[in-house]
Structure 1
Amino acid sequence: MAAGPARSEQNHAPSDALFGQVMSNVAAAQSLDIIAEIDHSRLAAEAGEEMPPSRVLIFSDPELDAALMAIDPRMGLDLPLRILAYEVESGGESKLLYSDAAYLEHRYGVTLPQELRDRYKARIDTALAGIAPGDVTVLAAEGLDGDGLITLESPHGFDETLRRLREVVSAQDDTVWFGEVDFDERARAAGVAIGSAQLLLYGGPGPGGRAMANAPSLGLDAFCQKVLVLQDKDGRVRVIMNDLLALAERHDVRKSLPARVINRRIQKTFADALEN
């Protein structure tokens, strides 16, 4: 019986080595903060699901986040920065995967100043220092069905909206919190005003593991799940989340039944929380 876990850990070794290098690089960089690290596959195993190795590091340059969100606050859904270590094929090689600034331009229909594109690349390069180029892949900017964003209008104020969302997520017995990012607070510390903006990071290791069983690259941007709450200068509060099926298309993977179920569940859960 001991052979199973041993083989499992052996399978994780290549992706763990890549992830460890990225983690070490980010931890040593004074300009970067580690927000969260999520080991999708091991969390899925704890929930009784099997999937290939997939482990994401979420990290931040607060000044970069603030400058990007000053252009379009919706970009907070794709921030902070993320790099995924994952097994490309079952029993095969492992790679690192990330999205570049071109993806933000494509998804949000903006043209970023060269200084921001350069800064974005520099932060990714810092995280990837010492890693062979052949071990790194950039996820294509194209491929989304539209912008892949789901937006709900909240009839409540910003704080009440956050309270309702936290409460409904906490009520799900198969869901865990991975953290929150107060973009507004971090932007003000960097001397930039972007308005109220908070990102909630959460996920269900069991359902997520089933959805990623044949698509571990979804651990980059589809999982963990994210919900962004924004308030504009007129007081309007919006709740923005990813359409997981659109992200599946971006990763060129089948829109599996588990992903469809999660997608429907997320939308209904949050819509009900805002209405009731």
Structure 2
Amino acid sequence: MLSRNTIVAGILVAMSSSQAFADSGLVTKQSKHTVQETIEKFEAAIKSKTPGGWMIFGRIDHASAAKEAGLEMRPRTVVIFGNPKAGTPPMMKGATLAIDLPMKALVWQDDQDKVWLTYNSSEYGAKQIFPRHGLNVPDDAAKMLEKFLADASDQATQ
């Protein structure tokens, strides 16, 4: 049986982890699905916006790469996605923005087999990423992107 102190310590660790995510500009949502299902649902949500210019550029399967190196890691897959109609004009003004775009979402599994989806908030992009390249993001554009990301991530995790 777990002691009261162990439970309290676990809650504090979880709270500090959530706070660390919030402070770093990361949005993390628990998924009700497997890693593979979450990836597929997230990609389907992005692809459903293809008429608006959204697309999937690819995936990076870190666990598979670790396995090839003789190491074992829980699932960690990065989905690379973006909207060239929206991302190309700022990249033309600031070439170094291409180091941060396209956007990425990480689907991962923790040590308790819970599945999560993590991405940079649009606020973080607008206040940290774009300014470091000498670029500004209008508030309305950041809000539209945040709604898009929230909707796509909800479709993937719920």
Q: Could you say whether these structures have the same fold, taking a TM-score greater than 0.5 normalized by the shorter chain as the test? A: yes
Distance 1:175 1:255 in 2: 18
- Offset at 1:187? 0.3
Kindly provide the CA deviation profile for residues 117-149 of structure 1, in whole angstroms up to 9, marking residues without a partner as x: xxxxxxxxxxxxxxxxxxxxxxxxxxxx94221
Partner of 2:35: 158
> For 2:135, what is the secondary structure of its paired residue?
coil
More displaced stretch, 240-249 vs 188-197: 240-249
TM-score by length of 2: 0.70
Question: Are 2:90 and 2:135, in contact at CA under 8 Å, matched by a contact in 1?
Answer: no
Q: Please identify runs of 4+ aligned residues in structure 1 that moved more than 6 A.
A: none
Task: Trace 1:63-74 onto structure 2 (pairs within 5 A).
Answer: none
Question: Are 1:154 and 1:239, in contact at CA under 8 Å, matched by a contact in 2?
Answer: yes
Distance 1:272 1:156 in 2: 11
CA RMSD after TM alignment: 2.4
Q: What amino acid maps onto 2:129 in structure 1?
A: L
> For 2:24, what is the secondary structure of its paired residue?
coil
Question: Are 2:77 and 2:106, in contact at CA under 8 Å, matched by a contact in 1?
Answer: yes
Question: Are 1:210 and 1:258, in contact at CA under 8 Å, matched by a contact in 2?
Answer: no
Q: What amino acid maps onto 2:110 in structure 1?
A: D
Normalized per residue, the structure richer in helix is 2
- Offset at 1:214? 4.1
Partner of 1:189: 68
> Which one of 109, 117, 139 corresponds to residue 239 of structure 1?
117
> For 1:195, what is the secondary structure of its paired residue?
coil
Q: Which runs of 5+ in 1 are unaligned?
A: 1-108, 110-144
Greater C-alpha radius of gyration? 1
Partner of 2:155: 272
Partner of 1:133: none
Distance 1:209 1:232 in 2: 35
